[in-house]
Structure 1
Amino acid sequence: MSDFYEVEDTQGVRCPWNIWPQTRMDLMRNGVPLSILYTPSKQIEKLLRVQYPCVRCTKCAAILNPFNPVDFASKQYTCCFCGTQQQLPPAYREITEQRKPAELHFAYRTLEYELQQVQPEQKIIIFCVDTCVEESELLKIKESLQLAIDVLPENTKVGLITFGTTVNVHELVFEFCPRKVVFRGTLDMTPQLIDQYLGMKNPTQRFVLPLSVCRESLTQLIEDLHVDLWTVPEKHRPFRSTGVAASIAVSMVHCLQASLVQQHKNPMANVAILSSGPCTSGPGQVVDADIAQHVRHWPDVQQKNDVAKYVKDSTKFYEKLGERALECNCAVNIFSCSTDQIGLLEMKGICTQTGGTMLISESFGYSAFTKSWRIFLEMHSDSNEEALIKAQGAANLHISVSQNIKVHGCIGPVSSLKSNSTQVSPTEVGVGSTDKWQLAGMDSDSTYAFVFDLMEVPKDVGLQNRFIQFRTEYTDATTLKRIIRVTSCAFRSEFNENMQTISTGFDQEAAATMVARIAAWRFEQTKSTEEVLRGVDRVIIKTAKSFCTFVPNDPNSVKFQSNFEFFPQFLYHFRRSDLIQLFGQSPDETTMKHFQLCRQTVPNMLSMMQPALLSFTVQNTEGEPVFLDSQECTPDRILLMDSFFNLLVWSGSTVAAWRQAGYHLKPEYANVKALLDSPKPDCEDILRGRFPSPRYDYADQGTSQARILLAKVNPASTHKTGCSQGEVVATDDVNLQQFLEVLKKTMVVVEK
């Protein structure tokens, strides 16, 4: 696995299969699809950036790389993707086998080309604020907006929209008193009409201005914000026009950047929606204002009954709005802080297409929101060079593959640029029918999953190497220079008869996360948990048969290879997780979790599927990883569980009793104090670098909050079996051992 981590650190690539099957039939038998997880903006420590132009193939546009055969005598090379032989440019006439340019060295399979400098327009952030809130929540919103004024650079252009029954666009500079333009919350308008009412293309417009110009007046506007004044009838929800507010914000950006996009390709803009409830009027409506109708839940969505009557139309509205936002490279970010759903199921398309983000919290005062909000602002602040997650704005990604490979598509927050070619498969997985995608709102954690197919190749044809090249063109947020990052990969191929060789290149972590992404994508298409689980089970069985030896009809004879032993375990926990199980979970929660699953790195996705568990004891306060198992929940230790969305410090009953007795306050019990403080450094590291920030909780053994951990662990001991140590879990789920036994029985059955 260390080799896979090294490739990820130096190239941003993780591959389930690092040695590929030779034929399409072999691929179908192996279960896990042929795929690559790629992080195009990964922060690579020793990444080389050159300042000369790249050499492109005249036929397929692939860039010169270490896998191209080069004739140094004639100064010609052969493209490894299309097979075209062509001449190197005159600037390469002095190269020799000993004096090669950087792009021909294997150490630089990932490198960047610096193009001409550009001067994109200042960053734009438009804040859309929900005013149908309690006074205490509005106060927290004001504090968050004031933080944005303090953190964002002076040249950042900002705008302020508030919405409730109506949508109010605020002027940011004024002479005597603040003014605003009020729009009806039930009627959507085109960008042309918005420009007509607001004069956005007019140099003297006052609605989106640099902070350096409007800082004082914007501060006053924020202080003067008040709760929506329209009377709410008894037993009704507030009239909230979220859809119209989002549409107006996107239209304002569209008017400002219509000409700029053509000039600079990817100026960066963001819309930040701070919402505290469902849209109840106008386009994008989620539920009726009458409180007698409840907000749709999964049974309503799956059965398509009257409660979910707005889902289809609202989803289409936000998808269309996402297309409009994409035209001006505007990322839409939704911060949902409410005890009720706000409609993320319907709004997902606008975030996925534009590369924005989603966050769920119960209040604008909760740490999950406040920490995430600060990180979001720091990502878009040029002044903070130490931000762990860097925002790079919009980008285009083009992929080239060998002649015997087809591209099914990409699973992630992308949109198609409709660049069809002979290397595109007619079968779509994710966003398909193209070999070029637009990545709006890309950051250094954005990871995209590309799925491939193999052409039919006669078995008597010799083994062939396969080549993949990713080319990502973006503007560096720090230097404001146009950059092309090129990552070239090569894969050996083998017949399935040599599975022992193929298995040495199997990355079980990447494979498990890839299966999870495809499952999330299929759930979005079918809304059927049962169908998705059947698909996951088929993959486990197929892949397991390739990685084990057994005697037919003898489950006890099954022996898995060492680099496969955790793969069924990852997917066992995935099957039990709230990523796929809908019971007790709202559509908004599931949507947000699937959205993050389809954009995060491999380690983060693994945390979602199988939470990481660290154990701290009096003897070991440094912490050690332990299995996610109920038997690890003993009274004399502290456990730290990281499930990406939740961070939980769990204290055993003995440790909790020590704390309640105040032993940690006595000098003679310094070891108890050290134990109680031991999880804090790990928690601080996670909270500082995680976006969105997880919910952070403490729980003692036997308390209600402890259920967060018990719902995740393998139930080795249940209320039916009892236990010799650890915690008893009240569940009817099978445990991991039973799951593996059933898997073995299924594998060894020989059909007659």
Structure 2
Amino acid sequence: MPLLNCEPCACTKCGAILNPYSRVNFQEKLWVCPFCLECSYLPPRLVNAADDNIPQELQACWSTVEYLLPTQSTPPAFFYVVDICMPAEELQALKESILLSITQLPSDSYVGLITFGTVVQVYDLTSTDITKSHVFSGTKDLTVEQVAEMLRLDPRGGSPLLCQVQQCDVALQTILDELVPDPWPLQEGCRALRSTGAALSTAVSILECLMPNLGARIMLFINGPCTQGPGMVLGSNLQETMRAHVNIETNTQLKHFSRAQKYYQALARRAAGKGHCIDAFMCARDQIGFLEMRDLVECTGGLTVLTDSFTQEVFKLSFSKMFDSTQRELDMAFNGILTVQTGKEFKVAGALGHCVSLERKSPSVCDYEVGIGGTCAWKMCGLNSTTTVALFYEITNQHGVEVPQGSFPVVQLRTEYTHPSGRRILRVTTHAYQWADPAKDLVDTGASFDQETAACLVARLAVHKTATEELVDTLRWIDRTLIRLVTKFATYTKGDASTFALSRNFSLFPQFMFYLRRSRFLRLFNHTPDETAYFRTVLNRETVLNMLTMIQPSLLTYQFGQPPTPSLLDYSSINPEHILLLDNYFRLVVMHGTTVAFWRSQGYQNEPSHAHFKALLEAPNKDIQDIVQERFPVPSVLICDQNSSQARFVVSQLNPSLAQQSRVDTSGGAPGENYFSDDVTLKKFMDYLMTLAVQGQ
């Protein structure tokens, strides 16, 4: 898109930016704002603009342009906050990943280091002869003023706690090389004392003092739950267990839950208020308290990875991918502000995504709130190329007022952010929409329906509702939404389900809702509260394509002599002579059919006469590499055989079309397997939906 090295031309009344939908009089050097209809003069830089010399911001082909604002460039800061309460091999793997990431950072960017265990240590990165650190108690929650006084922080004179990479890379490498697991003695029958909350608070305070409203991100690496001090989610005694879904539903055994959640919410608001982003890299075989810490990531636009160990490829590749450079620039932006401006025909009701409200009122804000509402501007401290925010609007003239046919209401999105180079950029996107009255013209309305995006919007709304409503109420809301939609846009004879039909633009939407109801976002069984919070957090920031993969996983079939082919996400797709690749975004599962598994166990792939079989076994690898290369977080890869215990990761995702109470033959005449399921099949789901729709219920 065009990058204009100038200030934008703004309306003198409402602040809207000059765009292709503005009416321009080149002779008089005037333009009319499409939002408030106010006339403004064109800036001097457009004095030569004419009908045959239209500037880029007025060309219809550029609905989005960027402006390079004349502000001072300040390189971003990266603050590493490292948990050292972990085994030596885990810490060693983490240190190697951190050292690699430092080599990928721009040389002028700032870095800082905090380690925590029983105590919190803030390191001086200017000392090369001897390692120096400031030690804080892990049980105290210090204020910003106390931290600034103890560390003698001066934003005007800099600080040895945040140094440019080119000046401190040797000292930082020395500190990391000498880093060892927490030496504090571990009492018998107790967990390690981990001061996560105190360490995060210290990092936030330092950045508040040294880099207010400048690009910075805090990267938290954690191997277990916070067991002492502010933000504690679990006691140190091993007899105390972590909360489960049943405890949250019944409000029992939640000794630390509310207090910890409020603490991290307040910490998230502090960081977001200064434009700082918090990432969470959680590598532990038990829960670490991400449910309580979730707002740290969502309010600040941070990234998150959840896996079992720092030695696993899921963490290593994901963390390295975070610093991948495209055209010598990091794929990240900082301290963003999204502003929405609408015409009088509709107003913004709210947003859902990794953002926080700036509580900015304007004529574009409606009284009805959806998600994070009551404002026309949101803070987005961390962004990258896949960051996606869902915006919801309300039609202002829908109550008994005639829809203005043929009019084109306009909406403008303005996103101001800090580029990785430190430059401040304003991205302006302007769109116009055409009215269609659903009460009179269902054909035009249905023709513009995007069922994939609609499914993603419903998914985000459903996840948002789970925070304040019972899960069963959320499922009922999805059902009611689906029934209302198909009742409105399907063709049928009332009372006759056999006449029910949906147009192409709506045909997949019921199927998306079927799999959404069965997804890990709304089904709590077999997932911990931390895992559920993690899945929902990732859903809340990804693109439409990635969200669809989470809602309805993709299934590829590999067979002899044919390229990979997409298959129905149905149990009938299992074939003993095929290989299946299931992609649910978080995990890639390769399942070999029983016959393929038998041939593989016999070593046929090692014989030159069976080269075609070897090619079949290797066929999924290329697709797996392509997926891993483009996705964050990197999915885990699992290879299993049909009818094995790990095959459940595939079977549980499929439509149980063959589920019954008798033996199902799935191996071409050989004894089959018992496949039982309490889930409703897609066919029964659709049959019941059609019955309700044609009855007008």
TM-score interval, smaller chain: over 0.9
Matched, 1:222 2:165: no
Amino acid at match of 1:168: Q
Q: Which of the residues 98, 115, 118 maps onto 1:165?
A: 118
Quote the residue 1:627 is aligned against.
Answer: 568
Q: Any idea what SS the aligned residue of 2:340 has?
A: strand
Per-residue deviation, residues 534-588 of structure 1 (Å, max 9, x unmatched): 1111111111112211111111110111111111111111100111111121111
Per-residue deviation, residues 437-475 of structure 1 (Å, max 9, x unmatched): 111111111000000111135444532322111111123
User: Matches of 1:374 and 1:720 in 2, distance apart?
Assistant: 48
Q: Which of the residues 290, 293, 301 maps onto 2:248?
A: 301
Quote the residue 2:36 is aligned against.
Answer: 82
Q: Which of the residues 443, 449, 468 maps onto 1:525?
A: 468
1:618, distance to aligned residue in structure 2 (A): 0.9
Q: Does the aligned pair in 2 maintain the 1:717–1:728 contact within 8 Å?
A: no
Q: Does the aligned pair in 2 maintain the 1:630–1:728 contact within 8 Å?
A: no
Amino acid at match of 1:588: D
Matched, 1:184 2:137: yes
Quote the residue 2:220 is aligned against.
Answer: 273
Amino acid at match of 2:175: L
Quote the residue 1:485 is aligned against.
Answer: 427
Matched, 1:136 2:77: no
Amino acid at match of 1:324: R
Structure 1 segments of 4+ aligned residues over 6 angstroms from their partners: none
Matches within 5 A, 1:119-134: 119-120=73-74, 122-134=75-87
Per-residue deviation, residues 582-638 of structure 1 (Å, max 9, x unmatched): 112111111111111110000000011001111111121x31211111111111111
Q: Which of the residues 374, 399, 415 maps onto 2:320?
A: 374
Q: Any idea what SS the aligned residue of 1:657 has?
A: helix
Q: Once structures 1 and 2 are overlaid, which stretch shifts more, 544-553 or 439-448?
A: 544-553
Matched, 1:249 2:192: no
1:54/1:750 Cα in 2 relative to 1: closer, same or farther (>3 Å)? closer
Identity %: 34
Quote the residue 1:48 is aligned against.
Answer: 2
Quote the residue 1:17 is aligned against.
Answer: none
User: Matches of 1:175 and 1:127 in 2, distance apart?
Assistant: 19
Quote the residue 1:8 is aligned against.
Answer: none
Amino acid at match of 1:491: Y
Quote the residue 1:696 is aligned against.
Answer: 637
Quote the residue 2:268 is aligned against.
Answer: 322
User: Matches of 1:50 and 1:205 in 2, distance apart?
Assistant: 35
1:204, distance to aligned residue in structure 2 (A): 7.2
Amino acid at match of 1:77: W
Matches within 5 A, 1:646-657: 646-657=587-598
1:705, distance to aligned residue in structure 2 (A): 1.4
Q: Any idea what SS the aligned residue of 1:108 has?
A: coil
1:200, distance to aligned residue in structure 2 (A): 2.9
Q: Does the aligned pair in 1 maintain the 2:23–2:32 contact within 8 Å?
A: yes
Q: Which of the residues 503, 520, 532 maps onto 1:578?
A: 520
Quote the residue 2:395 is aligned against.
Answer: 454
Structure 1 spans left out of the alignment, 5+ residues: 1-46, 262-266
1:117/1:196 Cα in 2 relative to 1: closer, same or farther (>3 Å)? closer
Quote the residue 2:620 is aligned against.
Answer: 679
Amino acid at match of 1:284: G
Structure 2 spans left out of the alignment, 5+ residues: 668-672
Matched, 1:708 2:649: yes
Q: Any idea what SS the aligned residue of 1:354 has?
A: coil
Q: Any idea what SS the aligned residue of 1:593 has?
A: helix
1:725, distance to aligned residue in structure 2 (A): 5.3
Quote the residue 1:469 is aligned against.
Answer: 412
1:204/1:508 Cα in 2 relative to 1: closer, same or farther (>3 Å)? closer
Q: Any idea what SS the aligned residue of 1:720 has?
A: coil
Q: Once structures 1 and 2 are overlaid, which stretch shifts more, 354-363 or 449-458?
A: 449-458
Matched, 1:544 2:486: yes
User: Matches of 1:436 and 1:293 in 2, distance apart?
Assistant: 43
Quote the residue 2:62 is aligned against.
Answer: 108
Q: Does the aligned pair in 2 maintain the 1:630–1:729 contact within 8 Å?
A: no
1:89, distance to aligned residue in structure 2 (A): 3.9
User: Matches of 1:80 and 1:474 in 2, distance apart?
Assistant: 25
Amino acid at match of 2:301: G
User: Matches of 2:661 and 2:68 in 1, distance apart?
Assistant: 64
User: Matches of 1:661 and 1:348 in 2, distance apart?
Assistant: 48
Q: Does the aligned pair in 2 maintain the 1:636–1:654 contact within 8 Å?
A: yes
Amino acid at match of 1:462: P
Per-residue deviation, residues 206-240 of structure 1 (Å, max 9, x unmatched): 32222322222322221222222222222222211
Q: Which of the residues 55, 69, 91 maps onto 2:23?
A: 69
User: Matches of 1:163 and 1:705 in 2, distance apart?
Assistant: 37
Q: Does the aligned pair in 1 maintain the 2:158–2:210 contact within 8 Å?
A: no
User: Matches of 2:662 and 2:371 in 1, distance apart?
Assistant: 43
TM-score w.r.t. length of structure 1? 0.88
Amino acid at match of 1:580: L
Quote the residue 1:658 is aligned against.
Answer: 599
1:508/1:156 Cα in 2 relative to 1: closer, same or farther (>3 Å)? same
Matched, 1:335 2:335: no
Q: Which of the residues 359, 362, 376 maps onto 1:421?
A: 362
User: Matches of 2:497 and 2:371 in 1, distance apart?
Assistant: 37
User: Matches of 2:674 and 2:65 in 1, distance apart?
Assistant: 52
Matches within 5 A, 1:17-56: 47-56=1-10
Which of the pair has the greater relative contact order for Cα pairs under 8 Å at 6+ separation? 1
Q: Which of the residues 495, 507, 512 maps onto 2:455?
A: 512
Quote the residue 1:155 is aligned against.
Answer: 108
User: Matches of 1:91 and 1:134 in 2, distance apart?
Assistant: 62
1:171, distance to aligned residue in structure 2 (A): 2.5
1:175, distance to aligned residue in structure 2 (A): 5.7
Matched, 1:146 2:99: yes
Per-residue deviation, residues 357-411 of structure 1 (Å, max 9, x unmatched): 2211011111111111111233xx6xx5378x81112211111111021211110
1:75, distance to aligned residue in structure 2 (A): 4.2
User: Matches of 1:92 and 1:142 in 2, distance apart?
Assistant: 54
Per-residue deviation, residues 315-365 of structure 1 (Å, max 9, x unmatched): 111111112212332211111111111111111111111111221101111
User: Matches of 2:593 and 2:307 in 1, distance apart?
Assistant: 28
1:85, distance to aligned residue in structure 2 (A): 3.6
Q: Does the aligned pair in 2 maintain the 1:173–1:217 contact within 8 Å?
A: yes
Matched, 1:288 2:235: yes
User: Matches of 1:214 and 1:183 in 2, distance apart?
Assistant: 23
User: Matches of 1:150 and 1:96 in 2, distance apart?
Assistant: 49
Quote the residue 2:53 is aligned against.
Answer: 99
User: Matches of 1:359 and 1:427 in 2, distance apart?
Assistant: 34
Q: Does the aligned pair in 2 maintain the 1:715–1:728 contact within 8 Å?
A: no
Amino acid at match of 1:392: A
1:66/1:735 Cα in 2 relative to 1: closer, same or farther (>3 Å)? same
Matched, 1:645 2:555: no
Q: Which of the residues 419, 424, 436 maps onto 2:377?
A: 436
TM-score w.r.t. length of structure 2? 0.95
Q: Any idea what SS the aligned residue of 2:616 has?
A: helix
1:545/1:187 Cα in 2 relative to 1: closer, same or farther (>3 Å)? same
User: Matches of 1:587 and 1:127 in 2, distance apart?
Assistant: 26
Matches within 5 A, 1:253-264: 253-258=207-212, 261=213
Per-residue deviation, residues 129-152 of structure 1 (Å, max 9, x unmatched): 112212222222222222223333
Per-residue deviation, residues 101-123 of structure 1 (Å, max 9, x unmatched): 22222211112222325321x33
